[in-house]
Chain A
């Protein structure tokens, strides 16, 4: 015979599961949304910059000028969309957005290259799109550097440069966005469902009057909270499985660490988020308000303060402090560590600990704020 508190928790969980299974909209929201989000972010959102439209204004028409232009077009980064003879003719293309970058090689370029003192070519960049602008800038610097190097080598004969950077990118050598995004996407999927659904569940009992009946029975407040956590935790686990499966097989995200560890990390995060939802529900006692607070308090932090897209380290200190409290950042960091770098339990223990603290804190506060009264 189970101890009575356990029987009551199981009864709450069982009842809650029945509510979920009888609400097809809620179930669809919980199970279809992760797939949709993953496909949306995985396919449509890409930070891989390719095919930046470029216009070439070659006024030198020399071998050197052609070589310079070619060095921009050998990779997929730039696409030459037009050739113009005069820089002024390039401007309309810029204004219309047909080109984002213009390479202007003035007359006498080759002569300067061969005889000095200084060869000048101009790269005009459309700064309105700062991502492609910074990529173009970096690329231009690299081209200038390697061309100069080649010139030195030709001048000095068989010499090797004293210093050479040979970077090697670990864990995501092609720097593909999907590899970076999918672990972060787990945050979006889990917060939306975990917090949204649980934020409604206690408030619903107040609004429908069932709390009045529930509080007249021996069930304890902690038992109500734990019983309500159960079924949503199960749904969350299904979502983790879905995101991982899609991520690994559709988007080729590597799984270098232990799958069990990934589930452990995700589970602790889930508990923290479910608790956040229940806390909101207990405090508001109103489904409408709870839903709004849940949306604001989860979606934005998960998107902006988790390191999912923007690195936390470069944020103002106030935001960094908030990010340090919220579990989202720890999940993203731990998932990337385990999936991409094959990190072990000890490496992600601080992240797990931080998320667990958040859970325990909210559990205590929510249970305390959860009064056995109806008015």
Chain B
């Protein structure tokens, strides 16, 4: 069942911490030249999945294969040569300067001095960290630090790049710059996996896997997921918005519910749409209802509310 062109593939990955199943049978693949988003709220199992992909955590079951490294297993020497990894938390040496961190990781990846200098200059240039070459890593701002971590992960020209919440704590401008960089590398043929809790970032990936409680509940291109989403999104308006929200919260046909300005945005199960409309007209006489096109966030919230019932 291996689809051709996967640079990295995870099959039925499982990992528990005590009795808690952090990752519960996750299967997916990332192609060369593809930006794959692993999307889910905090605690969904994204970091555990990424760590197993890098080989920093042994799975209880399942396996990771890197076709980009001749089918090597995660964490093997060949795999480490082919993979670039940017952890979620601070992981560089704070007391070393930007240049020294780059030098150190370049040496570990066995780059020659010329290669190192060439790539360092280029990476410092594209990340615009050039002027801060001598600054200690722990004196960098959040955005600059993330760009340095990215530069360190890119030094050896990995075929597969794994990023765990790379824009966490990054200002909007740096965030944009990071994304521009990512697109550039992907267009050069790199396979990039990005774990993120942000729906706006997810919608910019080529494909996304929606992760919820350790499982992958849906996987497709963001636009395709929105297109094939069968449930309508409604914008409800009532004078007593909070009262309405309380009354909606317990209803089984309401899949997602969130305030949007003065209104409430809800996703209603398609099969119960007629009943819901009738109920709303009868119970909320002063209310108005507007049908809107579901966006990616509606899809994610809707799918994660009752994953088993919406599965195909």
A220 to chain B, nearest CB (A): 8
- Would you give the 0/1 interface string for A1-15, flagging 1 where the beta carbon is closer than 8 Å to chain B? 100100110110011
A49 to chain B, nearest CB (A): 51
Tell me the residues in window 100-135 of chain B with beta carbons closer than 8 Å to chain A beta carbons. Answer: 100, 104-105, 107-110, 112
The interface-forming segment of B48-56, B165-173, B231-239, B255-263 is B48-56
Q: Which residue of B lies closest to A15 (CB)?
A: B104
Knowing A10-B107, A209-B89, A219-B108, the reply to whether A372 touches B95 (Cβ < 8 A) is no
B109 to chain A, nearest CB (A): 6
Q: Assess whether B94 is interfacial by the CB under 8 Å rule.
A: yes
The interface-forming segment of A18-26, A132-140, A299-307, A336-344 is A18-26
C-alpha spacing A1/B111, complex, angstroms: 11
Q: Is B85 in contact with A216, judged by CB distance below 8 angstroms?
A: yes
A23 — which chain B residues lie within 8 A by C-beta? 95
Knowing A218-B81, A372-B75, the reply to whether A210 touches B91 (Cβ < 8 A) is yes
Q: Is A373 in contact with B96, judged by CB distance below 8 angstroms?
A: no
Q: Assess whether A208 is interfacial by the CB under 8 Å rule.
A: yes
Q: Assess whether B214 is interfacial by the CB under 8 Å rule.
A: no
B57 to chain A, nearest CB (A): 6
A214 — which chain B residues lie within 8 A by C-beta? 108
Q: Assess whether A141 is interfacial by the CB under 8 Å rule.
A: no
Q: Which residue of A lies closest to B51 (CB)?
A: A374
C-alpha spacing A15/B152, complex, angstroms: 15
Knowing A7-B110, A11-B104, A18-B96, the reply to whether A215 touches B56 (Cβ < 8 A) is yes
Q: Is A213 in contact with B91, judged by CB distance below 8 angstroms?
A: yes
B56 — which chain A residues lie within 8 A by C-beta? 212, 215-216, 372-375
- Would you give the 0/1 interface string for B81-98, flagging 1 where the beta carbon is closer than 8 Å to chain A? 101110101111111100
Q: Assess whether A76 is interfacial by the CB under 8 Å rule.
A: no
Knowing A7-B107, A217-B108, A372-B55, the reply to whether A18 touches B95 (Cβ < 8 A) is yes
Q: Assess whether B301 is interfacial by the CB under 8 Å rule.
A: no
A14, A18, A212, A216: the one within 8 Å of B83 (CB): A216
B190 to chain A, nearest CB (A): 16
Q: Which residue of A lies closest to B104 (CB)?
A: A15
A218 to chain B, nearest CB (A): 5
Knowing A213-B152, A375-B57, the reply to whether A218 touches B91 (Cβ < 8 A) is no
Q: Is A8 in contact with B75, judged by CB distance below 8 angstroms?
A: no
B57, B83, B93: the one within 8 Å of A373 (CB): B57
C-alpha spacing A218/B72, complex, angstroms: 14
Q: Which residue of B lies closest to A209 (CB)?
A: B91
Q: Which residue of B lies closest to A215 (CB)?
A: B56
- Would you give the 0/1 interface string for A207-243, flagging 1 where the beta carbon is closer than 8 Å to chain B? 0111011111111000000000000000000000000
B95 — which chain A residues lie within 8 A by C-beta? 18-19, 22-23
Q: Which residue of B lies closest to A205 (CB)?
A: B93
Knowing A208-B94, A372-B55, the reply to whether A218 touches B89 (Cβ < 8 A) is no
Q: Assess whether B80 is interfacial by the CB under 8 Å rule.
A: yes
Knowing A15-B93, A373-B58, the reply to whether A218 touches B109 (Cβ < 8 A) is yes
Q: Is B87 in contact with A213, judged by CB distance below 8 angstroms?
A: yes
A216 — which chain B residues lie within 8 A by C-beta? 54-56, 80, 83-85, 87
Q: Assess whether B77 is interfacial by the CB under 8 Å rule.
A: yes
- Would you give the 0/1 interface string for A22-37, flagging 1 where the beta carbon is closer than 8 Å to chain B? 1100000000000000
Q: Is B58 in contact with A15, judged by CB distance below 8 angstroms?
A: no
A228 to chain B, nearest CB (A): 13
B80 — which chain A residues lie within 8 A by C-beta? 216-218
Q: Is B107 in contact with A209, judged by CB distance below 8 angstroms?
A: no
A27 to chain B, nearest CB (A): 13
B90 — which chain A residues lie within 8 A by C-beta? 208-209
Q: Is A218 in contact with B110, judged by CB distance below 8 angstroms?
A: yes
Knowing A15-B96, A15-B104, the reply to whether A212 touches B109 (Cβ < 8 A) is no
C-alpha spacing A215/B85, complex, angstroms: 10
Q: Which residue of A lies closest to B108 (CB)?
A: A217
Q: Which residue of A lies closest to B58 (CB)?
A: A373
C-alpha spacing A358/B78, complex, angstroms: 33
A217 — which chain B residues lie within 8 A by C-beta? 80, 105, 108-109
Question: Known pairs A7-B110, A208-B91, A217-B108. 14 more at Cβ < 8 A?
Answer: A7-B107, A10-B107, A11-B108, A19-B93, A23-B95, A208-B94, A212-B87, A213-B85, A213-B105, A213-B149, A216-B56, A217-B109, A218-B108, A373-B57
A-B pairs, 3 with minimum CB distance: A11-B107, A216-B85, A213-B91
Q: Could you jot down 5 A-B contacts, CB within 8 Å? A: A208-B90, A210-B91, A212-B89, A218-B110, A375-B51
